[in-house]
Chains A and B, each alone.
Chain A
Amino acid sequence: MITHELIERIEGEAVLDFQTDKSGAVQDAAIRFLHFRGMEAILEGRNALDALVITPRVCGICGHSHLIATVKMIEDAYRNAGVAIRISDKATAIRQITLSCELIQNHIKWLYLVMLHESGKMMGEEPTVALKALYVSSQVNQLCALFSGQWPHSSYALPGGVSCDPTHIEVMQALKILSDVERFIEDEVLGCTPEVFEQAMRDNEVLSLSGDFGTVLRNFERLKVLDTGKSHGRFLVLGDKSVAMANGIRNSADFALVSEDDSQTFEHGGKTYAKNALYNGEFYEGGPLARALVQERTGITDLYRTYGDSAIIRLSARVAEMVSLCAQVRQLLTSLDLSQPSFIPPPAIESISAEGIGIIEAPRGSLIHRATIEKGKIVSYSIITPTQWNLGNGTASNLGIAQKAMIGAESIAKASLIFRTFDVCSVCTTH
């Protein structure tokens, strides 16, 4: 039997086409995204700096990631044109702080608005508004705005640095907010300190954590989906240091092996607007789990050894990343050297003709911006979003990551829940 399931309450919507057997188990699943906005075409012909305003509008929840990818792309174009461009350590650190804030708020929203809500609903609970989570994510966004002016849709990062020139007052406010966020994660999300959480992952005891994350895991266990959702076990991180991991072996990743495949799109008689992103011709998983595994972070790596790439580890990896990002933001804030320049003016963009690539780690995985610039104007622009890696629609012999994870699920409802563990963003996928 074939069922079309409209998945809502993600960023945008997706349609899943399920093929099920008599018992209702999922035998095949196709992922379709039906909205398209033509962002790349909107950028062409514009001044390259305008992209700093346009690309954040690719996505309301991860627009800041797009901003940082754009600015890196432009800076890469400067260098490829043979023009020196310098970024102070301070500006680099501030960019990292604001980018990390975006990841943290994203993960909190996903845990509460999507996973706690959906898994609770399947347990027969009446969902309520997760006000405490929304409040704390608005605080994280406030921390970001102390530097970026606003969230969402700031354009404060420019080739050469950042536009803000903070004082210790902003740093103090930021640290205060950060303490509140850390307290929320301890008291509400985990129900324990980060150290106890780390130990629980190593000892395979995360199920007994008392916080809301533990509740999600226990919901998953009762629904018998906790250790389902296995995929290819191939992981890719291109943003920080490039690593591809397959069959448990880590290799440095080569950007030249990245390709896009549009064979499943409407343009070619298919049923989706999303192009697949492939590495070496194959689907690789990106995002918090990939980042933790390639960096061999303890806790997640231990859990992975026990469970493989199943639901429990995708859930744990996003939560563990919230924790480690808070620590990273704290470290960056406390070591910020405010005496350095925020911005070191580069030569005018009109003098630049070159290609540029900007790759960063966004909430859901590696985000790639690539453009050709001619005398400061954008000739062509192409964006590969993280969800194109995870939510690609493959063929029977080469299944996409989430596709493979859903096949074999006992029911459509369970497959849809597994789908959501990937933190689906249809808005980004079909920019």
Chain B
Amino acid sequence: MPSNPAKLRVIWLQGITCNGNTHSFLNDPSLGTLLDSVEFLHHPLLPCTFTLQQLVKKLPKSDILIFEGAYSASFERAGMAMESLLMTLALKTKHIISMGSCASFGGIFKENDPEHISGIVFDKENDSGPLRDMRKKVITLSGCPAHPKWLSFTIDMIRFDKPIAVDEYRRPKELYAYLVHNGCLRNEYFEWKVDSEHFGTKEGCLFYAQGCQGPFTHGSCNKILWNEVSSKTRSGTPCVGCTEPTFPKRELFTTKTYMSIPSEMPIGIPKRSYLALAGAAKSFHIKRLEERLIDDHT
């Protein structure tokens, strides 16, 4: 057994936010264990060492700075503009976690003032955020909200000094190499191109008409599940692509098609290959997949 490292000193700072990541984090059923390994110097809802006002006055050093919400230079907390507050705390910390899609790419709130609102490292796909030069110490946990386990994973890796392999947006590969499509209960319908007739059914895939972005959205939603039990696609809702820099796209509940083929392909699948396979799959009628899964309602 490795000896237990000292508690990590963590600051949770919020930019322009809905508090969604805070509440997502509070859903972690092993919160108690996590809290054994961290000391919150500041947190918006949990007991912590410093109030916001004290935090702004002391600007303490920390091991991890968690930033939730979108960045705007002039946005203030306790009278201090993010331009100096975030920058100072970032310089004085060892690791930065970009918590949620707003902090990571700008997210929904960016839409209101695209010129001035961005993520901390990335502004949509571009690395032009205020902390771009510190990107090496940033871990991106995109998602609207981010899953609580994604945060506990990252804190754990930092705590035990383990290297975290990341993708081009600095998202941990162990969490984001998966697609939402992986593990969805509707995979077989996807394979055989059986579309869901409408919402509210157990059958069919939501990729062909309802706008599901699962095949081109990174995230382990369908591997580790939400609230331990479900996910958007498991409850029949199309994935809205909330972990990607493009979130929020428009027309989220319809699939854009070109000549009745979805215009966005599953990641890494050439259109030609997709069409070849789709053509073959569609030429068969699989009775089991065209029937109701459970039809004891008659």
Interface residues, chain A, CB within 8 Å of chain B? 6, 8-9, 11-13, 34-35, 37-39, 41-42, 46-47, 49-50, 52-54, 57-61, 63, 91, 109, 113, 117, 127-129, 131, 134-135, 137-138, 141-142, 144-156, 158, 160-165, 167, 173, 339, 341-343, 345, 427
B41 to chain A, nearest CB (A): 14
B252 interface residue, CB < 8 Å from A? yes
Contacts of B248 in A (CB 8 A): 50, 53-54
CB under 8 Å from chain A, chain B span 205-242: 226-237, 240, 242
Query: Are B19 and A50 in touch, CB under 8 angstroms?
Result: no
Question: Interface extent on B, as a size class?
Answer: 35 or more
Contact present for B235 and A164 (CB under 8 Å): yes
Answer yes or no: B109 CB below 8 A from chain A CBs: yes
CB B151 to nearest CB in A, in angstroms, measures 14
Instruction: Tell me what chain B mostly uses at the interface: helix, strand, loop, or mixed.
Output: loop
Q: Give the distance in Å from the alpha carbon of A131 to the alpha carbon of B36 in the complex.
A: 12
* Given A150-B230, A163-B199, A61 contacting B19 (CB threshold 8 A): yes
- 9 other A-B residue contacts (CB within 8 Å) besides A49-B251, A137-B27: A11-B19, A49-B252, A53-B240, A147-B235, A148-B235, A158-B199, A345-B199, A427-B17, A427-B18
Q: Which residues of A contact B26 (CB under 8 A)?
A: 109, 134, 137-138
Contact of B268 with A by CB under 8 A: no
B226 contacts which of A58, A149, A162 (Cβ < 8 Å)?
A: A149
| Complex CA–CA separation, A50 to B248 (angstroms) | 9
Interface centre among B22, B77, B229 (most CB of A within 10 A): B229
**Count, A-B residue pairs, CB within 8 A:** 196
B16 contacts the other chain (CB 8 A)? yes
A427 to B22, CA, bound (A): 13
5 contacts between A and B (CB under 8 A): A11-B19, A60-B21, A109-B45, A150-B231, A155-B240
B200:A342 contact, CB within 8 angstroms: yes
Q: Is the CB of A37 within 8 A of B230?
A: no
A161 cross-chain contacts in B, Cβ below 8 A:
199-200
B228 and A57 form a contact (CB under 8 A) = no
Report how far A151 CA is from B233 CA in the complex, Å. Answer: 14
A13: chain B residues within 8 A (beta carbon): 52, 77-78
Instruction: Give the contacting residue for A53; candidates B17, B24, B252; CB below 8 A.
Output: B252
- Mark B residues whose CB is within 8 Å of A: 16-24, 26-29, 31-32, 35, 44-47, 51-53, 75-78, 108-109, 111-113, 144-145, 198-202, 226-237, 240, 242, 248, 250-254, 294, 297
Nearest opposing residue in chain B for A148, CB measure? B235
Question: Which residues in B have their C-beta under 8 angstroms from that of A147?
Answer: 235
Given contacts A6-B53, A57-B18, A152-B145, contact A129 B250 (CB under 8 A): no
B262 to chain A, nearest CB (A): 18
Known: A37-B16, A345-B198. A155 touches B52 (CB 8 A): no
Q: Which residues of A contact B19 (CB under 8 A)?
A: 11-12, 59-61, 427
Please determine whether B45 and A42 come into contact, CB atoms closer than 8 angstroms: no
- The chain A residue with its CB closest to the CB of B232 is A149
Known: A34-B76, A57-B144, A58-B18. A138 touches B237 (CB 8 A): no
B172 to chain A, nearest CB (A): 20
Contact of A163 among B77, B108, B236 (CB under 8 A): B236
| Residue pair A59, B18 in contact (C-beta under 8 Å) | yes
Contact between chains at A41 and B252 (CB < 8 Å): no
> Of B45, B233, B236, which one neighbours A9 at CB under 8 angstroms?
B45
Closest to B241 in A: A53
CA distance A121 to B44 in the complex (A): 16
Q: Given A138-B26, A165-B200: A46 and B236 within 8 A (CB)?
A: no
State in angstroms the CA–CA spacing of A49 and B202 once bound together: 21
Considering the chains assembled together, what is the distance between the CA atoms of A42 and B113 in angstroms? 9
Asked whether, in the complex, the Cβ of B18 is within 8 Å of the Cβ of A47, the reply is: no
Min CB gap B34→A, angstroms: 11
Rounded to whole angstroms, the CA-CA distance of A308 and B297 in the bound complex is 52
Complex Cα distance A34/B198, Å?
Answer: 43
Q: Is the CB of B20 within 8 A of A153?
A: yes
* Residue among B18, B22, B44, B233 with most chain A CB within 10 A: B18
Q: How far is the CA of A343 from the CA of B199 in the complex (A)?
A: 6
How far apart are the CA atoms of A167 and B254 in the complex, in Å?
Answer: 26
Q: Given A34-B76, A41-B112, A127-B47, verify A60-B28 contact (CB < 8 Å).
A: no
Chain B residues with CB under 8 Å of A60's CB are 17-24, 145
Please provide the 9 A-B residue pairs with the shortest distance between their CB atoms, ordered closest to farther: A343-B200, A149-B235, A342-B200, A60-B19, A38-B112, A150-B226, A60-B20, A163-B236, A145-B227
